[in-house]
Amino acid sequence: MLLTSASRRALLLFPLVLPRLAFGQTGTSLRATGARISGYVYDSLARAPLAQATVQIVAADDPSRFALSTEADSLGRFAFNDVPAGKYRLGFFHEMLDSLGIDPPLTDVSVTGTKSIVADIGIPSAPRIRAAICGGSSTDSGAVIIGFVRDPKGTTASGVTVSGDWLEYGIGRGGITRRLARRTAKTGENGWYALCNVPAGGIVALVANRGTDSTGVVEVQIPTEGFLRREIFLGRAMTGRVSGTVVSLAGSRPLANAQVSITGGPSGRTNDRGEFTLTNAPEGTRMIEVRALGYYPDRRQVNIIDGAPSIRFVLPTLKAVLDTVKIRATRLALDEGFLRRRRMGLGKFIGPEDVVKAQAVNTTDLFRRVAGVRVDTDQDPIKIRGAFDSTGYCDAAIFIDGVYMRTFTAEDIDSYVPPRNVAGIEVYSAAFVPAEFQVGLLGCGSIAIWTKR
């Protein structure tokens, strides 16, 4: 039986929640020649053995009559010897269970003689945990995000509202519609929360707040198996500090002058040793972004809290990223997908003949000829008219040879894809973006650039 932290207060499984000091020894005074019970402790979420789990076996009818405790080794193996005939409950403790907010799963074991018994135990699979927390079947397609909310000191925070937003598209008589979907939850007394029925395999924007304390908007990618654990921290003051290093993937070479910025906070650049320090940053969970000319940018979650460790960013070159994509993308022939979408007439297209006629110096010059597209400066992303309010411009999602290039600027495009290498370009406003060029919650248009192969 799987129990969530919400049910922990309602039902205490006495055999496995006795004070741990009671199991400090490997056995009790009762000893008898009996069976050997052995097995593995397995983490179904990580798909790996669960090392150093505290495994316990107790008599099902009276825990005080018989109790044994041991620790699983580095491969998750455990064993109990000389277990007399009777009925028992087998379970384990591990910090991973605490982080998931679930109680120890129990396994019933019956011993009738001296024959060895194999009984594997472990953390349930993602579908089982999701079904236990949210209800329904383990085959449901919805996903769940669980975790704890803490303050900057690390103390769990109760009564915090956690929200998850994402975009949903629909096709009806009126054409393509788009709406912002949301799920909310409040943390319990122990700071635990669960957001049920979010989309599996998509991007969800998480934010938590309680009064004037809040997090930043944090983008999370939901795994296809439909389960994500994410711990988040509240913050209020602009007194945080973040430090780290930025190096190249090839050779771990320090990257000087890389730009490091926190959404809604300060920005700075790395020194000659690739080191950076940002002060007066907003406390709590935020998004941090690192960019270096010629390298693929990195954007990730960071917890700006007391005692936070230094962050290490390893950036691959744009060439390394896109060369890998080209190998995979040879099936995406321009004369198939490009021409098919152009015939549908949902976007604006720049074909090979248009590139030749334009005689552009930079690839971004090609966009200046497209209505509704704006190129401000080399350091800015390309803009497309038509954000949520349909009155302004928003940052277009950039794809090169089918792969999404997060936070690409005009300079990035020009430095990697010169006009002579452009085979074709597709430009879509927000309402007509094909599924293969949609990106999570951006809610803006998309630009797909295809290179000659």
* pLDDT tens digit sequence for 27-47: 444 445 789 999 999 998 888
Question: What is the value of pTM for the model shown?
Answer: 0.66
* pLDDT tens digit sequence for 383-396: 887 654 445 788 88
Strands 121-123 and 35-43: parallel
Q: Output the six-digit token pair for 285.
A: 């969970």
Question: Is 242's pLDDT higher than 90?
Answer: yes
**Which of left, alpha, beta for 136 (phi over 0: left; psi -120 to 50: alpha)?**
left
Cross-strand pairs, 54 = 71, 93
Strands 397-400 and 446-451: parallel
* pLDDT tens digit sequence for 160-201: 999 998 877 666 666 556 677 899 999 999 999 999 999 887
Question: Is 284's pLDDT higher than 80?
Answer: yes
Q: What is the phi/psi pair of residue 252, to 5°?
A: 50, 40
Higher local confidence (pLDDT), 360 or 14: 360
- The three-class DSSP label of residue 89 is strand
C-beta neighbour count of 90 within 10 angstroms:
26
pLDDT at position 322, please? 60
Cβ contact 145:198 at 8 Å: yes
Strands 121-123 and 142-150: unpaired
Q: How confident is the model at residue 345 (pLDDT cuts 50, 70, 90)?
A: confident
DSSP per-residue codes, 344-402: HTSSEEE-HHHHHHHT-SSGGGGGGGSTTEE---TTSPPEEE--TTSSSEEEPEEEETT
Side-chain half-sphere of 248: how many Cα atoms within 13 Å?
16
pLDDT at position 42, please? 94
* pLDDT tens digit sequence for 111-146: 998 889 999 999 988 888 888 888 876 566 688 999
C-beta neighbour count of 412 within 10 angstroms:
24
C-beta neighbour count of 251 within 10 angstroms:
7
Q: Where are the beta strands (DSSP E) in 17-130?
A: 35-43, 48-49, 54-59, 67-71, 77-83, 86-93, 107-111, 117-118, 121-123
pLDDT at position 319, please? 67
* pLDDT tens digit sequence for 75-111: 999 999 999 999 999 999 998 887 787 777 899 999 9
Percent of the chain predicted with pLDDT > 90: 38
C-beta neighbour count of 188 within 10 angstroms:
20
**Which of left, alpha, beta for 147 (phi over 0: left; psi -120 to 50: alpha)?**
left
Report how far apart, in Å, the C-alpha atoms of 175 and of each of 99, 170, 212, 345, 432 are: 44, 8, 41, 14, 9
Kindly report which listed range (2-6, 247-251, 348-352) carries the lowest average pLDDT score.
2-6
Question: Is 2's pLDDT higher than 50?
Answer: no
Question: Is 210's pLDDT higher than 90?
Answer: yes
Q: How confident is the model at residue 250 (pLDDT cuts 50, 70, 90)?
A: confident
pLDDT at position 172, please? 61
pLDDT at position 324, please? 58
Question: Is 238's pLDDT higher than 80?
Answer: yes
Cross-strand pairs, 55 = 70, 92
Higher local confidence (pLDDT), 324 or 57: 57
pLDDT at position 19, please? 35
Cβ contact 289:261 at 8 Å: yes
* pLDDT tens digit sequence for 256-272: 999 999 988 899 999 99
Question: Is 410's pLDDT higher than 70?
Answer: yes
The enclosing H or E element of 200 equals none
